Amino acid sequence: GAVVSQHPSWVICKSGTSVKIECRSLDFQATTMFWYRQFPKQSLMLMATSNEGSKATYEQGVEKDKFLINHASLTLSTLTVTSAHPEDSSFYICSATPRGGRALETQYFGPGTRLLVL
Tell me whether residue 3 or residue 18 sits nearer to other proteins (CB atom): 3
Q: Minimal distance in Å, beta carbon 93 to other proteins?
A: 5
Q: By the criterion CB under 8 A, which residues form the site for other proteins? A: 34, 41-46, 49, 91, 93, 103-105, 107, 109-112, 114
Would you say how long the chain is, in residues? 118
Tell me whether residue 80 or residue 91 sits nearer to other proteins (CB atom): 91
Instruction: Specify the 3-state DSSP secondary structure of 113.
Output: strand
Whose CA is closest to 20, among 88, 78, 97, 105? Answer: 78
Q: Minimal distance in Å, beta carbon 111 to other proteins?
A: 5
Tell me whether residue 82 or residue 91 sits nearer to other proteins (CB atom): 91
Count of beta carbons in the 10 Å neighbourhood of residue 62? 17
The residues, any chain, with a CB within 8 Å of residue 71's CB and separated by 6 or more, are 33, 50, 51, 52, 53, 54, 56, 77, 78
Q: Minimal distance in Å, beta carbon 63 to other proteins?
A: 19
Tell me whether residue 48 or residue 84 sits nearer to other proteins (CB atom): 48
Q: Minimal distance in Å, beta carbon 80 to other proteins?
A: 20
Whole-angstrom distance, CA of residue 68 vs CA of residue 78: 8
